Homo-oligomer: A and B are copies of this chain.
Amino acid sequence: MNKNAFRSLSYGVYIISTLDGQRPTGCVANSVMQITSSPATIAVSMNHDNYTNSCIAESGVFAVSILSEESDPGLIGRFGFQSGKDVDKFEGLVSVEREGVQVIPDACAYIVCKVIDKMETSSHTVFLGEVIDADVLEKVEPMTYAYYHKVVKGKSPKNAPTYLPEEEKKTSWKCGLCGYEYVGEVPFEEVPEDYKCPICQQPKSVFIKK
């Protein structure tokens, strides 16, 4: 079995938000799909180890903020590279309440659901949610998981028609936490010492030479 085959499945990039008691929390997910159209339902797959999983199970609600190619990549660091158990991921963030759940306005659309069923697996829960609110926020291209890996994380310059083969790449610097590859004009050694990873906000010292 060649597990690389799974990499050809297509996904988006989503912030899944819910309630931890009265406090909003959430995480990044890729596995979201519409299941039925009337009533509209959405399935989200969520790892058991993810704090958001137990919060969805307890609150019975979740929202999907659909990131676009224009969304701040810092949202992925904020929601994807720390745990809602330890930090308030919504602190200092602009968000709006929809049906009791906070959604991210820096997205192309959002969908709010109440959980109506779930399927358990060895490591993940597939929550089935009936849509109680949804809207388009901006008419821009949704961010795909492939776009995030190839463009946002710096593996290819934006709008490049082809990606550089690995062997032609120069020495590059990569964030040790989220894998973001520095792509600025200034050589990485010369960027200011207070430089931070645009995705996960880690300091320059966390970057490693590839």
Contact = CB atoms under 8 A, between A and B. Distances in A.
A203 B161 CA distance: 35
Given A10-B144, A43-B45, A161-B159, A36 B123 contact: yes
Interface residues of A, number: 55
A22 interface: no
Contacts of A35: 31, 45, 121, 124, 126
A162 to B, nearest CB: 10
Interface in A115-144: 117-119, 121-124, 126, 128, 131-136, 141-142, 144
Interface in A73-123: 108-111, 117-119, 121-123
B66 A111 contact: no
Nearest to A45: B35
In the complex this chain forms, how many copies of it are found? 2
A3 B126 contact: no
Contacts of A124: 35-36
A135 B119 CA distance: 27
A19 interface: no
Given A36-B122, A121-B128, 14 more contacts: A2-B135, A3-B37, A3-B40, A3-B134, A4-B136, A6-B34, A8-B68, A10-B10, A11-B33, A36-B124, A39-B122, A41-B121, A43-B43, A141-B146
